[in-house]
Amino acid sequence: MANDLDRRAVLMAMAALPVLLAATRIHAGTAPLVLVHKDPGCGCCGGWIEHLRANGFAVRANDSDQMGLIKQRLGVPEALASCHTAEVDGYVIEGHVPAEAIRRLLAERPAATGLAVPGMPAGSPGMDYPGTTPELYDVALFGPAGQQSFARFRGGREI
């Protein structure tokens, strides 16, 4: 009987290990690689990439003149489209999503395609130019079942 309890405890610990390691990796600042697909002529995409790097993400940029096809392949709804599309740890990130929201997504791991900030809200990461008044915007969680609000930000701050 003691062996059954020991075995059960070991199995439970093994099952929990991937979740604990993922949370530790994200909080330790060694988040997974973010692959950013962007138009070569887009200037704000570089600002968003720098925001991610400043927040501990490793980023690789892929310049493409086929952004429409990339968004379609990755399942980004037209209504949520923005200027760049990223892939990170099995999720799609569309637009100027703050690093804080991406960290939360990776920690919680909801059943979804990913996160999106439609358009290019003033003050969002990559759109935070001097003298700009930050807009209020939602970060949408989207997937085959539709979309819902995941977080709300003003500029780079969650509210």
Is the pLDDT higher at 39 or at 3?
Answer: 39
pLDDT given at position 19: 44
Count: domains in the chain: 1
Domain span at residue 50? Answer: 34-158
**46 is a domain residue:** yes
Q: Which of 88, 90, 96, 75 is nearest to 146 (CA)?
A: 75
**9 is a domain residue:** no
At 85, is the secondary structure helix, strand, or coil? strand
Whether the per-residue pLDDT at 94 is higher than 50: the answer is yes
DSSP-assigned letter for residue 64:
-
Percentage of the chain lying above the pLDDT 90 cut? 78
**68 is a domain residue:** yes
Task: Tell me the per-residue pLDDT of 20-68, one tens digit each, with 9 for 90 and over.
Answer: 444 444 444 567 999 999 999 998 999 999 999 999 999 999 999 999 9
Q: Which residues pair with 157 in a beta bridge?
A: 154
Give me the torsion for CA of 70, 18, 31, 117, rounded to 10°. Answer: 50
Is the pLDDT higher at 147 or at 17?
Answer: 147
**14 is a domain residue:** no
pLDDT given at position 20: 42
pLDDT band for position 2 (cuts 50, 70, 90): low
Task: Tell me the per-residue pLDDT of 64-92, one tens digit each, with 9 for 90 and over.
Answer: 999 999 999 999 999 999 999 999 999 99
**13 is a domain residue:** no
pLDDT band for position 7 (cuts 50, 70, 90): low
Task: State residue 129 phi and psi, 5-degree precision.
Answer: -85, 150
Asked whether 47 and 126 are in contact (CB, 8 A), the reply is: yes
**115 is a domain residue:** yes
**Residue 83 Cα distances to 109, 122, 136, angstroms:** 24, 14, 19
**18 is a domain residue:** no
59 Cβ neighbours under 8 A, 6+ residues apart: 33, 34, 35, 36, 49, 52, 53
Whether the per-residue pLDDT at 121 is higher than 80: the answer is yes
